[in-house]
Amino acid sequence: MNLVRRRRLAVFGLTAPAYLWLALTILLPLSAMLFFSFLTQAPFGGRQAELTLGQYGAFLDKAFYRTLAWRSLELGFYVTLGCVAIGYPAALALAKYVKGRWREALFLLIVLPFWSNALVRTFSWTMVLRGDGLVDRMVQAVFPGAPSFGLLFTYPAIVVGLVHSFVPYMILTCYISLQAIDDSLIEAARSLGASAWAVFRRVVLPLSLPGLYAGVVLIFVPAIGSFMEPRILGGPAGIMLGTVIEDQFTVVFNWPLGAALSFILLAIVLAILALAYPLLRRNLQVA
């Protein structure tokens, strides 16, 4: 009995500080924000706030906000697609065709930028994409006399910047499930007469789907909530749900509307996670 109590005390003592911290910084803020999203105005400076559904009503009434949500989803779709197209083949090459120390070095080189500052990496694209920037100069060098063009402050610029930010995620998750595939399965399929394409489609691809799904979710979710990248690379073309939420909190100071829009974004995210949960459950076990 004493032992049981001591164990219980140990577990509580070890986990409570971390989880109290998380409650104060994640759970309570989200609850506060949910509450704010039902207010007419922020209850600061003696102003009287009343409960209302108006903030959510604004989203339903005004086509502008629905268009925004749609634009963010569309952006997430293109970014995720770009990451799959670039990242999956890279992960496959790394897991199945590169061996030994080279693989280790390449793997490190790929995940390294992912852990460096996202803001700085986004900023660095402005120098590549702007008129007279690197891309423009390269085009000029290959086609002399071609009209000068800048991609900065266009929609493709946002997609390129976000793909650059997130593609290491895709390579990482796909690599983990690809390198877990037993090579003898592939050899068995080959020796039974399957073509390289058939081996890929019937053996490698299905077995690597968990990593692919994980990558898709881990990229799609932050991509639809992005605001810094659209702001820096998209300029006027970069108005997204994320940038409008940012504005509500930093420029317009309409916190209740910002809170409601955040919760709509959160609802979209949760819906995606709920859809993906059965697919992800087996892969995302921590500790």
Partner 1 sequence: MRRGWAWAIKGYLAVVLGFLYLPIAVMMVMAFNQSSLYELPVRFDTVWFEALARNDRLLRASLNSVLLALANTVVATVLGTMAALAFARYRFRGRTLLQLLLFPPITIPWLIIGTSMLVLFFWIGIGRGLHAMLLGHVALSLPYVIVVVGARLKSFGPALEEAAATLGASPWQTFWRVSAPVMAPGVVAAALFAFAVSFDQFVISYFLAAPGVSTLPVEIYSAIRKGFTPEINAVSTIIILVSMGIMLLVARFYRFGGER
Neighbours of 229 (CB within 10 A): 31
Which one, 189 or 243, has the nearer CB to partner 1?
Answer: 243
CB of 62 to partner 1, least distance (A): 20
Q: Quote the strand ranges of 205-276, DSSP E.
A: none
Which one, 105 or 188, has the nearer CB to partner 1?
Answer: 105
Q: What gap in Å lies between CA 206 and CA 253, rounded to an integer? A: 49
Which one, 21 or 70, has the nearer CB to partner 1?
Answer: 21
Could you tell me how many helices (H) and strands (E) the chain has, helices first?
14, 0
Which one, 7 or 201, has the nearer CB to partner 1?
Answer: 7
CB of 55 to partner 1, least distance (A): 13
CB of 2 to partner 1, least distance (A): 14
CB of 252 to partner 1, least distance (A): 13
Sign (positive or negative) of CA dihedral 152, 154, 157, 158: positive
Q: Which residues pair with 39 in a beta bridge?
A: 51
Which one, 189 or 241, has the nearer CB to partner 1?
Answer: 241
CB-facing half-sphere around the CA of 144: CA atoms within 13 A: 0
CB of 104 to partner 1, least distance (A): 5
CB of 57 to partner 1, least distance (A): 20
CB of 206 to partner 1, least distance (A): 19
Burial 42-57 (b: 16+ CB within 10 A, else e): eeeeeeeeeeeeebbe
Q: What gap in Å lies between CA 63 and CA 65, rounded to an integer? A: 6
Amino acid at 9: L
Q: Based on the number of CB atoms within 10 Å of its own CB, is 165 exposed (0-12), middle (13-18) or buried (19 or more)? A: buried
Which one, 25 or 195, has the nearer CB to partner 1?
Answer: 25
DSSP for 50-109, written as a single string: -B-SHHHHHHHH-HHHHHHHHHHHHHHHHHHHHHHHHHHHHHHHHHHT--HHHHHHHHHH
CB 239 within 8 A of CB 230: yes
CB of 61 to partner 1, least distance (A): 22
